[in-house]
Amino acid sequence: MEWSDKEYILKSIRKNGMDLSRALEKIRSDKEIVTEACKQYGKNLEFVINPLKDNKEVVLEAVKNDGMALKFASPRLQNDRSIVMTAVKQNSNAILFASKELQNDKAVAMEAVKNDGMLLKFLSNDLKNNKDIVLNAVGNNPEALFYASDFLKDDKQIVSEAVKNNELSLRFASDRLKDFFCNSWEHKLANDKLNDLSNDFEK
Q: What is the pLDDT of residues 65-119, one digit of tens each?
A: 999 999 999 999 999 999 999 999 999 999 999 999 999 999 999 999 999 999 9
* pLDDT at residue 182 in the model: 86
The answer to the question of residue 183 being in a domain is: yes
The answer to the question of residue 109 being in a domain is: no
The answer to the question of residue 161 being in a domain is: yes
The answer to the question of residue 151 being in a domain is: yes
Question: Burial letters for 139-158: b for 16+ Cβ neighbours within 10 Å, e otherwise?
Answer: bbbbbbbbbbbeebbbbeeb
In which domain, by residue range, is 186 found? Answer: 114-203
Percent of the chain with pLDDT over 70: 88
Q: At which of 75, 103, 131 does a domain end? A: 103
Rounded Cα gap, residues 139 and 114, in angstroms: 8
Q: At which of 80, 103, 126 does a domain end? A: 103
Which of the residue ranges 14-28, 138-152, 167-181 would you say has the lowest mean pLDDT?
A: 14-28
Q: Are residues 95 and 120 in the same domain?
A: no
* pLDDT at residue 202 in the model: 46
Question: 174, 163 in Cβ contact below 8 A?
Answer: no
Q: Are residues 58 and 125 in the same domain?
A: no
- What contacts 70, CB < 8 A, 6 or more positions away? 59, 63, 78, 83, 84, 87, 94, 97, 98
Q: Are residues 188 and 150 in the same domain?
A: yes
* pLDDT at residue 201 in the model: 38
- How big is the CA angle at 89 (ends 83 and 93), to the nearest 5 degrees? 90
Q: Are residues 167 and 79 in the same domain?
A: no
Q: Are residues 99 and 119 in the same domain?
A: no
Q: How many domains does the chain have?
A: 2
The answer to the question of residue 108 being in a domain is: no
The answer to the question of residue 98 being in a domain is: yes
Q: Are residues 53 and 74 in the same domain?
A: yes
Specify the length of the chain in residues: 203
Q: Are residues 45 and 82 in the same domain?
A: yes
Question: 32, 55 in Cβ contact below 8 A?
Answer: no
* pLDDT at residue 197 in the model: 42
Q: Are residues 78 and 9 in the same domain?
A: yes
